[in-house]
Amino acid sequence: MSQRNSSGSGPVPGSFAESLRPQLEQGTAPDYPPGTVRPAWQQKEFAGACGVDARTVKDWLSGRSLPININNVLAALFGTSAHHSDNKTALLTAYNADRAARVARKSRRPEPQATPAASETDNQAGTRTRGHARTIFLSGVTCEFGTVRNEIVGDLASHGITALVQPRFDLSSGRTLQKIDDLIRSSDHVVCLFGKHSGAFPTETEAAAFQHARPTGLSRASYTQWEYLLALHHNKPIYKYDGTNASRPLHSQPPPDDDPAAQAAFIQSLILDEGYDRRPFSDDLELRNRILTSGWVSRREDRPPPGRPSNTVRMRDTRDERLLRLKATVVQTLAAAPDAVDALINVIPKGLAPRGLTGKSNEQRAEDVTILLMETRAFDTAKTWLRSALRSLERTRKQSGLEAILYTCRNLIPWLYIAGGRLTPQDLDRFEAIHVDGVISLPCAVESFAEIIMAGLNQRPPTFETGAPADQWPASPFAVKGQFPEAGRRETRDEILRDDLFKRLKCHRDFEGKPDVEIDAHIEDRLQYYLTDEDIRFYWLCKMPGHRDDAASLRALMDRVAARYPTLAVIELDERFLRDDTRLFDEIRRLLGLPA
């Protein structure tokens, strides 16, 4: 529920509902500058512009609920026009405050008591242990991001996150880089805002003390660029937001030594070439919204104390927390497509369909249907309902509903598959740890089904490489290749596997040519980054050969790889499931958006 008066009579002052109402009464719209007369929005008209029904808008105005997709509301009222920037800021600020309060109420629960050692020390990776409020370092050039940086500090504070920023140091003191280094060392994460300007540069004397953190080939770096380099050096999780293509007014005049060309080269060499993921934004409001809706903001820090055995280090999010995010994703998708909800309700047997749907908003109906699908836990039953709804929408050619059902299927099918008892509780628990702890056997015979299982374990959509013919199993980009070397080549399977991991994980180029032990350590760091920050666990699939000696050799290699990269899932496929996999994959291929 969003914020309402304690009497229950209506929304509280300053809430999202109170901020939205005058915009509708004034007829705010992208093509009408402030002061221009325009008829007030009718609830049904505004609902159509936002892709919801009139009852949902009524619930927003009464304070009963919040929009699932605030961007649709902002687009309907303000578009990309700069005329309404103040109103847009006020509405989004109210929405974010209500949303933060709602999340805090839902997630409130007693936490386990931390021991003094666990609450007062940092672990070896520099990450805060259990009991600490999270602290992040917020990096961005002041002339570009000074204003929005201060707003983000306030936004994160509402989520219990302390954001540190580079204070206005006396650059002539020669101590600025050291102070930045101290702040980054004390932070749990680093958030980098990339723009077009480099900002000021330290002197060569000041930078000399940190040459060990500067990549080969980079002759100099600005203070803000050093913030990114020092975060890399200290192995801090980094979240990157890209505003290089945004048209934004400057907060202040750039410093005299600002060098936009050097900034462009820096981004090209350290970001684009490495392929690190970035989150683009076009204006300050989109940036704030992208940050507040990022998984790392709502994620609880629950790190174990130093010295805990590696195979018991748990994932940051519990299975239940990931399921809540999965449910929210499906509800948001269906709420924006009434045709998809209708199609699902029509195919669910009358005795099982949610009761009291008449008169409910589409948002509420979407939540009821999602709960039914997820609580069914019978994969074949849910698969039948989804297939029937998809066929119905294909016949009626309702494109928005069709897209919503396909997206829902891609999110739900993997989780439903493993929730139906395909994996043992012991196997499920092994995947809740950062380190899988040895070779694991999965009930599947082919790579495509392994990807479905791995996606279900992390509650994410399965990902397949494009271009595979319909008569071939589609491959996943997260399945590492460790095939036998080609005839005439001297590479070992260990080397082939290491090279493929290095490329797939977008490892840092500075590690090329380093000793294998250093490359392997960096690969393990990247495996943990993808798992903890992107909810992606990479895996290596193995089929046991028929010859006894070959099988023994492969088994020894699998054990070596599992010990070398404990976060990598080393999986033994089971040929006994080939026939079942083939039949079932034909049934769900279309639900996953793959060519039939």
Strands 135-139 and 162-165: parallel
The verdict on residue 5 lying in a domain is: no
Choose among 120, 145, 162: nearest CA to 196. 145
Task: Kindly report which listed range (34-43, 454-463, 585-594) carries the lowest average pLDDT score.
Answer: 34-43
Same domain as 323, residue 287: no
Q: Are 581 and 540 in contact (CB under 8 A)?
A: no
**Does residue 301 share a domain with residue 340?**
no
The pTM is what? 0.51
Lowest mean pLDDT of 79-93, 363-377, 554-568, name the range: 79-93
Average pLDDT over residues 261-287: 72
- pLDDT tens digits for 121-142? 333 333 443 344 578 899 999 8
> Are both 221 and 292 inside the same structural domain?
yes
DSSP secondary structure letter of residue 82: S
- Say what the pLDDT of residue 110 is: 39
Residues 290 and 170 in one domain: yes
- Spell 239-262 as b/e; 16+ CB within 10 A means b: bbbbbeebebebbeebbeebbeeb
Query: In what helix (H) or strand (E) does residue 286 lie, and over which residues does it extend?
Result: helix 284-292
Give the model confidence (pLDDT) of 335-361 as tens digits: 888 899 999 988 888 777 666 666 678
Burial of 495 (C-beta count, 10 Å sphere; 0-12/13-18/19+) = middle
Clarify whether residues 411 and 456 are in a common domain.
no
Q: Do 493 and 584 fall within a single domain?
A: yes
Shared domain check, 281 and 161: yes
Which pLDDT belongs to residue 535? 79
Residues 84 and 198 in one domain: no
Is residue 574 a contact partner of residue 441, using CB atoms and an 8 Å limit? yes
pLDDT of 485 strictly over 70:
no
pLDDT tier for residue 225 given thresholds of 50, 70 and 90: very high
Residue 446 lies in a domain: yes
- In this prediction, what percent of the chain has a pLDDT beyond 90? 11
Which residues is 4 bridged to in the sheet? 11
Return the DSSP state at 214.
S
pLDDT band at 300 (very low <50, low <70, confident <90, very high): very low
Does residue 3 belong to any structural domain of this protein?
no
The CATH number given to whatever domain includes residue 53 is 1.10.260
Residue 117: the pLDDT is: 32
Asked if the structure places residue 378 within a domain, the reply is: yes
What is the residue-averaged pLDDT of the chain?
78
In the chain, the number of structural domains is 4
- Helix residue ranges per DSSP H, 40-131: 43-50, 54-62, 70-77, 85-107, 116-120
- Domain C-terminal end among 253, 286, 308: 308
Spatial contact of 355 and 474, defined as CB atoms under 8 Å apart: no
- What does the alpha-carbon distance between residue 406 and residue 414 come to, in Å, rounded to a whole number? 13
- Average of pLDDT values for 486-499? 70
Using the 3D structure, point to which of 282, 308, 334 is the last residue of a domain. 308
Which of 535 and 574 is assigned the larger pLDDT?
574
Report which listed range, 1-5, 288-292, 442-446, is most confident: 442-446
Region 259-269: what's the mean pLDDT?
87
Q: CA-CA distance, 201 to 226, in Å (whole number)?
A: 9
Structural domain contains residue 363: yes
313 domain-assigned? no
- State yes or no: pLDDT of 383 exceeds 50: yes
List pLDDT tens digits, range 63-91.
Answer: 877 776 677 788 788 876 666 777 787 78
CATH code at position 165: 3.40.50
The average pLDDT across 5-12 equals: 49
> How much of the chain, in percent, has pLDDT values that exceed 70?
78
Domain final residue, candidates 40, 72, 107: 107
pLDDT of residue 502 exceeding 50: yes
Mean pLDDT over 466-493 rounds to 71
pLDDT at 150: 81
Gyration radius (Cα) of the chain, Å = 26
Cα(464)–Cα(473) distance, rounded to whole angstroms?
10
- Alpha-carbon torsion angle 341, 343, 347, 353, nearest 10: 20
Query: Are 254 and 199 contacting, i.e. CB atoms less than 8 angstroms apart?
Result: yes
Same domain for 238 and 100, yes or no, is no
Q: Provide the domain limits for residue 144.
A: 120-308
pLDDT of residue 138: 92
Cβ burial, residue 113 (10 Å; 0-12/13-18/19+): exposed
